[in-house]
Amino acid sequence: MFLLPSTNFKGVMEEKRRRRQAVIASESRIVKQDGNKIPPTQATASQIVEKISAGEWTAVEVLEAFISRACAAQDVSNCLTEIMFNDARSLAKELDEEFARTNQLRGPLHGVPVSFKDLFDIRGYDSTIGYSSYANKPREEDAHLVKIIHAAGGVPFVKTNVPQTMMFFGCSNPLWGTTVSPHHSLFSAGGSSGGEAALLAMDGSALGWGSDVGGSLRIPAAYCGIYSFKPVRGRICKTGVTECLPGFDGVPDVAGPLARSVDDLELACRVTFGHVPDGSDYHHVPVPYRDVQLGKKLRFGYIVYDGFVKTSPACKRAVLQTIEALRRDGHECVEISVPQPSQAMEIMAELTSADGHETLLGPVGSDPIEKELNLELLGPKLYGWMRSSAIWLFRMIMPMETIWHKLFYASRRMSVQEYFASTVKRNEYARLFHEEVWDGHKLDGIICPVQALPQLPQGKCTNLIALPSPTVLWNIVHCPAGVLPVTRVEAEHDAITPEWSDFTVGEGHGSILLEQYLYSKNGYYDPVKMDGLPVGVQVVGRRWEDEKVIAMMKLVDNALGPRGFGPGSWKAQKGV
């Protein structure tokens, strides 16, 4: 569908926000509680279905509790876009009447309130993805994934916020505003599935759905202290989504779940894997969920430093804490390195900027451009001689910098022939990685940081646009990857030492420029301000071993033991 840019951005923005606020303001923020029972918002999706099946809760009661909590989450973090409470109430009532009549659940998600990242089309509602030009054009049909959730008894009730273009890892756009961390108002919820992660972290939804082309499921989950899973392309159908880069096929873009437990991630994948769509999803692989039995002793590789940007003390501690727990349970863990550390980010930059960002910016129209996109959009604007001169000057000023100039060169308009060459480079790097890392070390899984930073200060993506290298890697080499929370930043234990602030001291250094942004005197890594904020890790598996990754996430979660995450763990937002 071709959509013309809006000529009245301000009017569209004000009206969309006014409608949203009118609904939110009319709802209660109080979740009714029985002193002897946990409220529905503190139950996992699986537990909700069990309670409804046992006759202890109704779908209507559960939905009302989550509506109240979602409104509170919106007050705190600005995470919501489209509000679907009335339709959700009608569906919940229908489910209760059906259950009363048949004593049968409609499906494995019967009565579970489900939220969706704004790009998933839902009949009767906009999929603006932050563009005013896409506003007031309600979709006529549900996305295939939404249809599956409906059939399983799930209750879609809200859509959630994304960053403009969905191609940076903050969460702000001119239409809906900025989504902040539910834990600290001065930090970001992450992106591009940031609205989903913030909502789930505050128990505002029982199960959520997002997408991932470079970390968009995993980065927000880590920032907000929840769980997420990026399957390989094809396991979950993406028919019926509003894309930021329609037609782009250079890097696998996948749909995946966000949740408050690994069990709920598994439930989501069991419900959605293997469904046969109408053929409109060119890459869909209709393989149902396959149960796996893990061996008693697994062999994990772990990455402390990826050679691109040195991992912060807090994120390093999270990885080592995870490895210690696995070794304690008898598993073998070996440290590994990333071959050609900047290659994945170079390939990502080449492929996504090949058309000079014309497709990406097409729907922007009269909307203001978010400042966090400035550096990402700069490269393709420069003529070849200007780019070459800038790179030459930079290398003269910072001769020790070995990474930044490669990324700046990679971000450029390309010919079709050059684009083809980049896809060949992608495939060759994926083959190299599998041979050197997976086969070379004979690994079952890999534990690694989600990012060098545990949290991103609000609005600071601009100079750190390359920071998602640890998540982009797994999109480029096409591996399934999940995120789970491990610990929280501890100011006393996670302070910067000369090993981080001085490039000549210690191991694991990468880009000098990026590390200066992070670890200099006024750098973005500040363990005092970040104290108490979540820190997660990635659990990664071989291509097509999605179910094994879920099983390994369970294993890691159990090995780490209780640590204050999951339903009911959110307490308050700092920095207000």
Catalytic one of 77, 115, 192, 422: 192
Position 2 pLDDT exceeds 50: no
Catalytic residue of the set 216, 261, 342, 469: 216
What's residue 5's pLDDT? 44
Band of the pLDDT at 1, cuts 50, 70, 90?
Answer: very low
Work out the average pLDDT over 54-76. 98
Q: Look at residue 105 in the predicted model and tell me its pLDDT.
A: 98
132 catalytic, yes or no? no
Query: Long-range contact list for 432-436, CB < 8 A, 24+ apart?
Result: 432/339, 432/340, 433/339, 433/477, 434/477, 434/542, 434/543, 436/339
Predicted local confidence at residue 77, as pLDDT: 98
Rg (CA), the chain: 23
117 belongs to the catalytic site: yes
pLDDT, mean of residues 199-225: 98
Residue range 325-329: mean pLDDT, rounded: 98
CATH of 302-560, one of 2.60.98.20, 3.40.50.150, 3.90.1300.10, 3.90.1150.10: 3.90.1300.10
> Per-residue b/e over 243-257, b at no fewer than 16 CB within 10 Å?
bbbeebebbbbbbbb
Return the pLDDT at 349: 97
pLDDT at residue 490 in the model: 98
- Closest-CA residue to 483 (of 550, 561, 569): 550
**DSSP β-ladder status, 177-178 and 227-230:** unpaired
Whole-number pLDDT of residue 4? 46
Helices (H), 502-545: 512-519
* Mean pLDDT confidence for 154-164: 98
**Residue 6: pLDDT over 50:** no
From 16, 117, 316, 554, the catalytic residue: 117
Question: Considering the chain, what percentage of its residues have pLDDT values greater than 90?
Answer: 90
| pLDDT tier at 283, thresholds 50, 70, 90 | confident
Least confident of 277-286, 306-315, 434-443: 277-286
Active site residue 548: no
* Class for the domain spanning 9-272: alpha beta
In this predicted structure, what is the pLDDT of residue 391? 85
Residues of each domain in the chain carrying CATH 3.90.1300.10: 9-272, 302-560
Q: What pLDDT does 7 receive?
A: 56
Q: In 3-state terms, what secondary structure has residue 327? A: helix
Residues placed in the known binding site for substrate: 166, 192, 213-216
This prediction's pTM: 0.97
Binding-site residue positions: 166, 192, 213-216
